[in-house]
Each structure stands twice: as structure tokens, then as C-alpha cells.
Structure 1
């Protein structure tokens, strides 16, 4: 016999400890997979015979499928039960990870990554729900702080672990490591929580809304991912995808606003705090994640870094966040969250402004410093923005609101990845053309460089190839600087949007949800 979550007593002693560890392990595995492939993209793309730009699909396919499945968590948990759904999600994630490692080509890997992202959707929201049911209300804040630590440590470990595995074993093992971890997590969660299953009931699903959601998001993401390869709107395929995305989105809006049981409750956007918080979260995360993907690509392709070295550059991004997040969690009820978010966006702006000054001569310390500082912004970004977004909502509205915000954030992250890599290549082509204009026989610097290369024993063709390679390195570095600079400006422009909100004090349930909403 199942019982409503509210009727369950908190776990005690070792059961609570092991339950927390099991849930955190599953969450860690999920979040780790959103970043572990970032530094491995060049190796994956090279091994499977595609360009690094096409390799980005490995990240975006996971994110888009994950975003689509997050809004289904509520319906699935009511239909099958929270514990059964969570354990099934972990088991399917393990199977999908194993299939990713076995993928013989890029198309298969992308398909299995999409499957992995889709089955992962319920894991994070349900891990929060099950964790909160394990603790008494007085310790709910502690439970969410521990959960948040897991989600901050995983992005730190992802690039480092992914880089080391890629350099010392082989890239499929970034997926295979999920198999033993996931099996242990699933077995432990089932052993501890199976007698705490939530009540189930048959509820209608918005099949039309879901189909429209999948259609317009998939069309938009594919359009962004193949746009450069197909010369954008000079291609009938790209134009067709753009039309499908636009029409699908329009029908999706109309359907969801009139459906009695919508898959995504768009009526929440009538609330000022919700729409300002959600838009700020989505845009900020798109900027953040796009740059997190771009930096290791630049380091490995044009600065000579190995995957491990690029991973060590990215790893410290969460260190300051881990130290400062508990402080933010304890003080969020006393400080206007808009002040915290403003501070976070200013720090993000500073970090990206520092990166916009990178050159091909930048040393390890110069590249590392902004990464460490970025952790400060992360600590003051997620929890305060979630607090703004969910403030003023009734308790029964919070699950849908949190799910919708997560959907917007994950989707924006995938779009940000595609846009940043596409713009990077476009700007690099422009800079390369400008640099090529100055490479001529009348330029003393060019004459000196060519003379030095010829004296080193290179043939005329090899000299020109070397000069072109140097121009290419410079062009992609300048293009990365452009994106870092524009991203810094956009973070500053987001600050007035945050101040349009009017945060209200929330009840305990809303505060707990805000603490873990990211």
C-alpha cells in the first residue's frame, strides 16, 4: 500500500545517511554527464571522423532530450510512483551510458546521448523530493545544502575526469564509468525507499502538447547545429527547419494556453516574478554554458592543451561556489535576492571581460584566474534567482513552476552551446580574411617570418601552410575574445531585468524548492 509523501515519517540514523548518499550519487552521475564530454569533444570528433563543430551535438542532444523530459516528471511520478520512476530512470540511464560507449559512429552516439538525456529528466527533481521526505522540516535546509553541494562538485569533476580518461584510457570510458556507479545507486535507492512509494493515480497526459514541444525544440536545435554546415538560410533544409520550429512553437503556445492539463503550464508567465526570474535564468545559463563549452575547444584546438590540461583549467569553476553556497543559503531570507543576483552578474561580466583579453601568448595562470573567480558568481546565481522565480507562488504551484524553469534553463543551455560555437566559427572566418589581407610580400613582418621559416628548412609550400596556421590560431583566438566580450555585456544588460521583479517572502516549502531548483 502506498502512502502520500506528506504522511511519511523522516528516515532515521544510518538509513537517512545511506539514502542521502544513494540519491546524491545518482544526481552526481547525472550532472557529471552534462559536462564530462566537454573536454573530450575533439577526441570524440576525431575518432568518429567528424568536425569538432559536429561533435557539439554530443552535448546538445543530451541537453535537449533532458529538457523535453523534465516537464513529464510530474505526470510520470503520479502514474508510476516516485520511487519506481526514480530507480527506473537510474537503470535506464546506466543502459544508455553503456550504449553511448559502444557507439560506432557519430549518428549512433548522438541518438544514444539523446536517449540518455531523456531518461535522465526525472532524476534531479525526484532526488530533491525523496531527499526532503527523508529529513524532518527543521533539517530541510541542511538536506538541500548537501544536495546542492553534489550538483556543484559534479561540474568541477566532469572536465577533470573526462580529460584524464580521454588522455589515459579512451573516450568511451567517460560513459562506461556510469555503469557500476548507477547500478550501486539504483540498488541502494530501491532497498531504502521502496517501502516509501508515493500514491499513484491515472491522470491524463497532454499528448498533443508533448508532440508539439518535441517538434519545435528538435527543429530549432537541429537548425542551429547544422546551420553553418549547410550555409544557413541559403539551404532549403535549414529554411524548412526554421518554419517547422516557428509554426510548431506558435501551435504549442496556443494549445498549452487552452489545455486543461498542459504538459507545460504557461499561465505561470502571467506572474511578474516568475517570468523575470525564468528569462534571467535561461539567458544567463545560455551565456554561461556556451562559454563553458567554448573555452576547452579553443584551448585544445588552438592553444595546444591536452584534454587533461583543459580539464584542470575548467575544474576550479566550482571551488568558490562550494565554499560560498552555504553562506548564500543561510542568508537568502535576510538579503534581497536581487542584490545577490546583481552581484553574480557583475562577477560573470568581470570574468568574461578578463577572458576577452586572452591572446595566443596567454599563460596557464592567466587563463586559470577567471575560472576561479567564476565560482563566486555561481554561488550567488542559482539559489537567489530560484528564490525570485518561485516567490509568491502557492505550494501546489511550485513543482510545475520549478519544472518549467528547469526546462527553460536546460533548453537555453543547449541553444547557447550551438550559438556560441557557430558564432565562433563565423567570427573566425571574418578575422582570418582580415588577417590574410595583411599577409603580403610588402609586409616586413611577413617577410621576416617567411625568411625565418625558410632558413629552418621548410619548403615554400610548408612556409605558406605554417603562416596560414598561425593566422588561423590568431583568428579563432580573436573570435573567442569577441564572444567573451559580448557575453560580458549581455550579463550587465540582464541586471535591470532582475530588478523588474518584486520578490516576496516564501514559505518553507518554497524556500526548500528554491534551494534545489537548479
Structure 2
């Protein structure tokens, strides 16, 4: 019993570590950007590269587990994750950090699914709900403490320590699994892996991500490599779809999309991924760069909503057990997300921590209402044999939505920045008495500090420019929240076309286990 509980604690700790790393970096992005001399657009690759790596590795996790042995693959993944954590912390330029962050994501891909399988194995069939509850609480603990822990570390140490904290956890998990982790009771059958499909997916997603991330900065198709990457992305993804529909053992079984319910759920899940990752990406930037919050304060404003999300997760599970259709729970999640974006879009540069924390409650509770119900809805019309593929495809869509969403929102932000800047600057003229009054007040302030008139005037203009930049950034981020909210509003009517078929208890177990 002691060894069993220790193994459960170990694999749960490894899973929580992986989830913490998915969110802990968000509150440190501004510090990374300044310390490494990179733009926020470039720094966003620290987040998206991790998501892309997950998209690539998750479909082949079962193959690697069967081929290498679960024990070897799991321990090897923790080793890769831990070593790359060290290398991320030691990186002295943004692209080295992005590279090791990508490899870290490849290592972290096994930690969730294998940890989940190990925990479920430790309980008999009649207590699978207990296993699900233990893993579910762990899954929500990581994102909950990630931003707060990251804020504390950045405030009291420096941003590399958000990666170095993984070292003791990783070492403990490696040693513990070496002595406690065994092979599964039923050995998986090694199937032929679809390496062609994986390569096409990786190339297509990687090039498209680059186009979305760098297109606006590089003036889109005026730049040669953007043109070529666009062509490569279109060809790779088109061939990927054709190839996956043609072969008998695809890495992503697209044939299950013949189900209208799954297709709709995949779209809703993609939009959910866009909203989840984009909102948690730009909120810390606003809090730190525009409102002057410390990283710790930024982490703290995310904590109340994250804690309530655990309660909301239990409520949504209880409602589904009582027979409430997941359609209604998903609709409620969507409504909460829409309200969150609307509320955030009405911020000002005087917004308080309480205002943002209140807004984030709706985001976090909405996330909890979408987690399991969307997966349940996705597979509700599938045959039992297709449920694992449908659930895996649905989860992949969430990751893709997250990585693409951050890139798209960055591009949208830059475009709106130019619009708002031109609008604000056009009203700043020397004939405007309010403008002249502001400039003269600043000039008098700097002259009182000992500067001559010319230097004082130069500093006054620079101060006005800084205020314009700050206001422009805030307006652009508010537009971004409006855009995110619009995505949810436009796709929510798709729920009207969903029909849910009741599944057997065994099918429900597959859904929970995969999630």
C-alpha cells in the first residue's frame, strides 16, 4: 500500500510539474523579453514552441510506450524534461531558449498521458472514479499554482529559476520511478508508426506557425521566406490530410471527422484553445507592462479564479453524472468566456488588481465547464472503437488552437497598434490647447529639475510619446479581447446542430481516461 501510494504521488508530481511549466512562464515573459533583448512577439515562441512539441509527440506516445517499454519511455521523458529545464535556464538568447523549450515539450508529452494511465491502474474498476478525481485535482493544481509560483520566483530571484525549480522534482521522480514503476499488466501491441504523417504534420504546423508569428513583422509576402513557408505549409497540410485518409494506420485518424458532432466539437475545442492560451498570454503582459504589477501580483490575481475552477470542475462532473447534457455545460462555459472577454475589453490604464482578478474568475470557471464536457460531446456519436482516436483528435485541436491563437493575437495586436497610433497622433497638434498645456507642464517640471529649456522640451515630447505608446498598447489589447470574444460568439451557434447519444459506462471510462 505504501509503495502504491508513493508511486501515485510520484507520477502525479511529474504530471503537475509538466502542467506548471505550461503556465509558469507567462508571468515571466516581460522579464525574459527585456533580459534577452527580444520583442514580446519573439518571446511568445517560448510558449508556442512548447505547445507545438506537445502536438507532435502526443499522437506517437502510445507507440513509443509500446516500443521502448513504458518504464524506459517515462523515465527517459522525465530525464529529457529535466535536462532541458536546466538548458532553458542557462539560455542567453531567445532562440536558444525556444529550442530547448521545444525539446522540453517533447519530453513533457509523455508525462500527462502515462501518469494518468499509471494512476488508473492502481485502482480496481469500481474505484475508477476515485482515480479520475485524484488525477483531475492534480491536473488543475498545476495551472493553478503555476502563475503564482512563477511570480514569486521572478520577484525574489530571477526568471531562469522558473526552470531550475524542476531539477529537484525531476530527480525525485526519476529515482522514485526507477524503483517503483513497472510495465503495464497488459502489454500494448506495437503498431507500425506513421512517420510520414508525423513529418508532414510537424512541417505543416511549424511553417504555418512561423508565417502567423512573423508575417506582420516581416511585411507578409514582401519577404521571401514568408512566401516559401506559406507554400510549404499549404502543400504539407494538404498532403497530410490526403495521406491520413489513405493509409490504414494513420497517426491522426481523420476519418472519424465524418461524424458531424465530432467535427463541430473539434471546431469548438479549437476556439476554446485559442481563448484559453491567448487570454492567459496577454493578461500578464497587460498587468506588468501597462499597469505596473509585479510578477508576484500578476500571479496572485490569477489564483482566485484558478481555485474556483477546481470547484467548477467537480460541479460540471456532478451535473453530467445526473444526466445533464454536455451541450448545456459547454454553452455555459462559452457564455462565461464571452463575458470574461467583454469585461476585460472595458479595462483602462487605471484598472485595479481586483478588476482583473474578478474577470479571470469567469475565464477559469468557463475553462472548467469546457474541459470534460467538450470531450464527452466530441465522442458521443462515435463507435466505442473510435472513441480513443476521436478524443485524441479533439485534444490535439485544443493544443493547435492554443499555439495558433497566440500567433494570431500577436499579429492582430500589431495591426491594431498602428491603427490606434495613427488615430491618437493625428489629434496631437500644437494648435490643440490641451496638448500644449500638457507639454508646457512637463517642460516646467523638467526645468525645475535643473534641465535647460531645450532638454526639458525634448524630455517632455519623449514623455508624451511614451504615454501615446502606452495608451496605444492598451487599446490594441482591448481590441484583442473583443476579437477573442467574437470568436466564441460566432461559433457558439454550432451547438444547435449537436445531437448527443448516450454512451455506455465503459465508453465514459475511456473518455475520462483519455482526458
TM-score by length of 2: 0.94
Partner of residue 378, structure 2: 389
Aligned length: 506
> Do the aligned partners of 1:321 and 1:375 also contact (CA within 8 Å) in 2?
yes
Inter-partner Cα distance in structure 2 for 1:376 and 1:55: 28
For residues 45-194 of structure 1, the aligned pairs below 5 Å read 45-194=33-182
Matched, 1:364 2:353: yes
Cα deviations by residue, 1:177-212 (Å, 9 ceiling, x for unpaired) = 111112212332343331546525442111211111
- Structure 2: segments with no counterpart, 5+ residues: 448-455
Cα deviations by residue, 1:235-292 (Å, 9 ceiling, x for unpaired) = 1111111111011111101111101111111111111222111221111111221111
Inter-partner Cα distance in structure 1 for 2:256 and 2:511: 16
Per-residue deviation, 1:487: 1.5
For residues 70-469 of structure 1, the aligned pairs below 5 Å read 70-194=58-182, 196=184, 198-333=186-321, 334-457=323-446, 459-469=456-466
- Structure 1: segments with no counterpart, 5+ residues: 1-12
> Do the aligned partners of 1:299 and 1:310 also contact (CA within 8 Å) in 2?
yes
Cα deviations by residue, 1:202-223 (Å, 9 ceiling, x for unpaired) = 4211121111111101101111
> Do the aligned partners of 2:14 and 2:173 also contact (CA within 8 Å) in 1?
yes
Inter-partner Cα distance in structure 2 for 1:480 and 1:51: 16
Partner of residue 450, structure 2: none
Greater Cα shift, 159-168 or 28-37: 159-168
Greater Cα shift, 137-146 or 393-402: 393-402
Inter-partner Cα distance in structure 1 for 2:123 and 2:174: 20
Inter-partner Cα distance in structure 1 for 2:278 and 2:380: 28
Inter-partner Cα distance in structure 2 for 1:31 and 1:39: 15
Cα deviations by residue, 1:150-192 (Å, 9 ceiling, x for unpaired) = 1212112111111221121111111111111122123323433
Give the RMSD, CA atoms, in angstroms: 1.7
Inter-partner Cα distance in structure 1 for 2:150 and 2:505: 38
Inter-partner Cα distance in structure 1 for 2:296 and 2:131: 33
Partner of residue 22, structure 1: 10
Cα deviations by residue, 1:73-114 (Å, 9 ceiling, x for unpaired) = 121122123333222222221111111112222121111111
Partner of residue 452, structure 2: none
Query: What's the secondary structure of 1:194's corresponding residue?
Result: coil
> Do the aligned partners of 1:36 and 1:158 also contact (CA within 8 Å) in 2?
yes
Partner of residue 7, structure 1: none
> Do the aligned partners of 1:84 and 1:197 also contact (CA within 8 Å) in 2?
no
Query: What's the secondary structure of 2:249's corresponding residue?
Result: coil
Inter-partner Cα distance in structure 2 for 1:320 and 1:276: 28
> Do the aligned partners of 2:69 and 2:183 also contact (CA within 8 Å) in 1?
no
Query: What's the secondary structure of 1:359's corresponding residue?
Result: coil
